[in-house]
Amino acid sequence: MLDDTEGYVTEDGRKIGGVVMEMKNITLRFGGVVAIKDISFDIREGEIRAIIGPNGAGKSSMLNVISGFYHPQEGEVWYKGKKRPGMRPYQVAQQGIARTFQNIALFEGMSVLDNVMTGRIRQMSTGMFAQALWKGKAEQEEVENRETVEKVIDFLEIQHIRKTPVGRLPYGLKKRVELARALAAEPSILLLDEPMAGMNVEEKEDMSRFILDVNDEFGTTIALIEHDMGVVMDLSDRVVVMDYGKKIGDGSPDEVRSNQAVIDAYLGVQHD
């Protein structure tokens, strides 16, 4: 089913492209603790790729490696066919990899609109002096970026809170604003760190819908980490399963579901 260059077609008929990002033999240690041990997997264009695993499996560490917050001791990260050199997180973001955080990292004092606008910083190229003088190109740029941002805000149905300071919003909405900010960057890969964590059933359904819609509408490649097995299986095209820093499974949701190692490590402790 998989081919390095060709891609594949999903069950619901979406065409998945070639490899955008490839992790090769990643090992990450914190002192004596091995958080990730020799893990390889790839992310393909247009797919929803999930990384799952029990608590402490190293999922978040993996996401932090992809987004440049952690630097693995061994292994290589390949992005768009090139080996990525060691990079600072902001440089990774400038390359078109946007992310959200497990514990929400928003600019609490700023309005929703301003928060989402910060997502466009990568697309704003005008220098400081032109910006300061607010002339010609800078103005045009601001208007164009504003249009994209408004589109995203509409799409995620947060128009009614555009001017509200983020600090005043309830948890579920904050999560959505964070998604909006990441989406505003028009990323090549969108990384979501536990997008459903701490949400009630209704909010989870909303979030699932948004993730699917984003993928469908903009063709955004999405890599997400999730604790909640049920949600992940419904959402994703392919799933990596981690346990104690090791990869124990990789494949379509059905393949993963029937993988004995996965069942032992994860599904063995079903609680619903």
**Contacts to another protein by CB under 8 A:** 67, 69, 88-91, 93-94, 98-101, 105-110, 114, 117-119, 121-122, 124, 126, 128, 131-132, 134, 138, 142, 167-168, 170, 181-182, 185
Is residue 18 within 8 A of residue 45, CB to CB? The reply is yes
Q: Which residue has the tokens 């987004």?
A: 67
* Closest CB to another protein among residues 16, 158: 158
Smallest distance, Å, CB 134 to another protein?
7
- Nearest approach, Cβ of residue 213 and another protein (Å): 22
Q: Which tokens go with 99?
A: 């992310």
For residue 43, the tally of other CB atoms under 10 A from its CB is 23
Amino acid at 124: M
- For another protein, the closer CB: 30 or 90: 90
SS3 70: coil
Residue 114 tokens read as 């301003």
Token digits for 61? 């560490």
Task: Indicate the angle between helix axes 171-184 and 201-218, nearest 10 degrees.
Answer: 10
The DSSP H or E segment spanning 114 is helix 112-118
Q: Report the nearest approach of another protein to the CB of residue 177 (Å).
A: 11
Q: From the CB of 251, what's the least distance to another protein, in Å?
A: 29
User: What's the closest the beta carbon of residue 268 comes to another protein, in angstroms?
Assistant: 35
Closer CB to another protein, 178 or 243, in the complex: 178
What b/e sequence results for 164-177 when a residue is b if at least 16 CB atoms lie within 10 Å of its CB, and e otherwise? eebeebeeebbbbb
Query: Shortest gap between Cβ of 243 and another protein (angstroms)?
Result: 27
Shortest reach from residue 89's CB to another protein, in Å: 4
Is the CB of 9 or the CB of 132 nearer to another protein?
A: 132
At 209, give phi and psi (nearest 5°).
-60, -45
Contacts of 222 (CB under 8 A, 6+ apart): 47, 48, 49, 189, 190, 191, 192, 211, 214, 215
- Asked if residues 23 and 65 have their Cβ atoms less than 8 Å apart, the reply is yes
Query: How many whole angstroms separate alpha carbon 207 and alpha carbon 109?
Result: 24
